[in-house]
Amino acid sequence: MKVQLKPSTCLAPLPAVIVTCGDETENNAITLAWAGTVNAEPPIVTIAVRHSRFSLGLIERHGEFTVNLMEPSMVRAVDTCGITSGRDVDKFAAAGLTRGHGMGVKCPHLEESPLSLECKVINRVDLPTHAVFFGEVVDVLAREEIVRNGRPVPEALLSYANGIYRATGDALGTYGFTGKVIKK
Ligand X SMILES: Cc1cc2nc3c(=O)[nH]c(=O)nc-3n(C[C@H](O)[C@H](O)[C@H](O)COP(=O)(O)O)c2cc1C
Q: Which positions touch ligand X (CB under 6 A)?
A: 16, 28, 30-34, 48-50, 53-55, 79, 82-87, 160
| Other CB atoms within 10 A of residue 168 CB | 15
Which residue of the chain is nearest ligand X when measured via CB? Answer: 82
How far apart are alpha carbons 171 and 153 in whole angstroms? 12
Q: Which is nearer to ligand X, 12 or 122 (CB)?
A: 12
Q: Which is nearer to ligand X, 163 or 169 (CB)?
A: 163
| Closest separation in Å from C-beta 33 to ligand X | 4
Residue 75 is classified by DSSP as: H
Q: Which is nearer to ligand X, 87 or 151 (CB)?
A: 87
Q: Which is nearer to ligand X, 78 or 137 (CB)?
A: 78
Q: Which is nearer to ligand X, 103 or 129 (CB)?
A: 129
Candidates 56, 1, 3, 15; CA nearest to 166 is 15
Q: Tell me if 65 sits within 8 A of 59, measured CB to CB.
A: yes
| Closest separation in Å from C-beta 79 to ligand X | 6
Exposure class string for 153-165: b at 16+ Cβ within 10 A, else e: ebeebbbbeeeeb
| Closest separation in Å from C-beta 73 to ligand X | 16
Q: Tell me if 24 sits within 8 A of 62, measured CB to CB.
A: no
